[in-house]
């Protein structure tokens, strides 16, 4: 514990390594100017023009803070790609805290607080308001590097993740380890779920757990509910429409009206 506190103390006295995610050149220039004037508190590691570019950088670099807009080159005023990115990656250890900086939706500050971001700044940004947000960010705990970890470190991949589920057999209950990379989709069956995997598609695993409980155990970057009875693994999705999607084994899965907008945004936004 003492070593952890010492590491955190050292981090608190080093500049924040930040990533700017904004597609407005003038807004980026303004932020870079503010950051240069606060070089003892914050350093800009890179500039991205959308969350997809940011995701690639976050896999290979250690970033302490995201300075992110909400809309990105989309004429639709309801586009909130910045919110989507934070929502879908909120449990990922490679994604740092966020300060939203936007001129499009100042009325969405309440939604931003629900995502537990550090701060929400409306454009135009002023130096004193920006510094206040950075001072707040510096009080947040930072992710310390592990020994030997550096710029080439990548986030844990799906093939490294698994779930241990309890199943019933002839000789009683037992625990089965399922690797998430093999899970194609999950279907609700009352108080049970049917887990269809790449190697066990004809005879699914059926643990005694509801779909609502099971979806909370899955990483949202790779899995999302598309229907009240279905969860899918995005790496197996081959094609889709507004009504259904087709997996690479030609299994058809319905897309529910309630889940459609969020699910289609999730498919289109995040790279495989």
What pLDDT does 155 receive? 41
Structural domain that includes position 259: 158-269
**Considering only CA atoms, which of 51, 44, 43, 64 is closest in space to residue 21?**
51
Establish if 170 belongs to a structural domain.
yes
Residues 180 and 255 in one domain: yes
Residues 59 and 163 in one domain: no
Residues 92 and 201 in one domain: no
Angstrom distance (rounded) from CA 83 to CA 70: 6
Length of the chain: 272
What pLDDT does 150 receive? 41
Residues 105 and 163 in one domain: no
Residues 243 and 132 in one domain: no
Residues 124 and 27 in one domain: yes
What pLDDT does 57 receive? 86
Residues 18 and 121 in one domain: yes
Residues 106 and 188 in one domain: no
**Considering only CA atoms, which of 211, 267, 265 is closest in space to residue 72?**
265
Establish if 151 belongs to a structural domain.
no
| Domain harbouring 90, CATH code | 3.40.50.2300
Angstrom distance (rounded) from CA 119 to CA 134: 9
Single residue among 137, 169, 186 that ends a domain in this structure: 137
Establish if 220 belongs to a structural domain.
yes
* pLDDT tens-place values along the chain, 272 residues long: 444 444 444 455 689 999 999 999 999 999 999 999 999 999 999 999 888 788 878 878 889 999 999 887 654 556 677 888 888 787 788 889 999 998 866 667 677 777 889 999 998 999 999 999 999 999 988 765 544 344 333 444 666 788 999 998 888 889 999 999 999 999 999 999 999 999 887 889 999 999 988 988 887 778 889 999 999 998 899 888 889 999 999 999 999 998 888 787 777 655 54
Establish if 253 belongs to a structural domain.
yes
Number of domains in the chain: 2
> Alpha-carbon dihedral of residues 75, 239, 223, 252, nearest 10 degrees?
130
Using DSSP's 3-state secondary structure scheme, residue 104 falls into coil
Tokens of 238: 């081959």
Angstrom distance (rounded) from CA 131 to CA 137: 10
Single residue among 137, 169, 203 that ends a domain in this structure: 137
Establish if 142 belongs to a structural domain.
no
| Domain harbouring 244, CATH code | 2.40.50.1020
Residues 184 and 224 in one domain: yes
Residues 17 and 124 in one domain: yes
Per the confidence metrics, is the pTM higher than 0.75? no
Residues 120 and 178 in one domain: no
What pLDDT does 3 receive? 45
Single residue among 90, 107, 137 that ends a domain in this structure: 137
What residues contact 272, with CB distance under 8 A and at least 6 apart? 234, 235
Residues 164 and 119 in one domain: no
């Amino acid at each position: 514990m003492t070593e952890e506190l010492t590491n955190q103390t050292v981090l608190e006295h080093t500049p924040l390594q930040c990533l700017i995610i904004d597609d407005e050149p003038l807004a980026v220039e303004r932020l870079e100017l503010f950051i240069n004037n606060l070089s003892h508190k914050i350093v800009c590691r890179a500039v991205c023009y959308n969350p997809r570019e940011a995701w690639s950088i976050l896999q290979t670099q250690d970033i302490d803070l995201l300075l992110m807009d909400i809309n990105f080159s989309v004429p639709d005023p309801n586009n909130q790609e910045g919110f989507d990115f934070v929502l879908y990656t909120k449990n990922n250890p490679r994604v740092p805290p966020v300060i939203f900086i936007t001129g499009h939706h100042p009325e969405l500050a309440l939604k931003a607080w629900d995502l537990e971001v550090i701060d929400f700044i409306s454009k135009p940004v002023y130096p004193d308001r920006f510094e206040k947000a950075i001072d707040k960010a510096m009080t947040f705990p930072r992710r310390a590097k592990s020994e030997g970890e550096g710029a080439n470190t990548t986030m844990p991949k799906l093939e490294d993740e698994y779930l241990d589920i309890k199943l019933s057999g002839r000789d009683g209950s037992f625990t089965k380890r399922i690797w998430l990379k093999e899970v194609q989709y999950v279907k609700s069956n009352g108080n049970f779920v049917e887990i269809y995997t790449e190697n066990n598609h004809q005879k699914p695993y059926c643990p005694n757990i509801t779909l609502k409980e099971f979806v909370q155990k899955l990483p949202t970057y790779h899995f999302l509910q598309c229907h009240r009875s279905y969860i899918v693994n995005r790496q197996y999705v081959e094609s889709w429409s507004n009504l259904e999607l087709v997996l690479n084994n030609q299994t058809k899965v319905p897309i529910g009206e309630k889940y459609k907008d969020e699910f289609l945004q999730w498919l289109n936004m995040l790279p495989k």
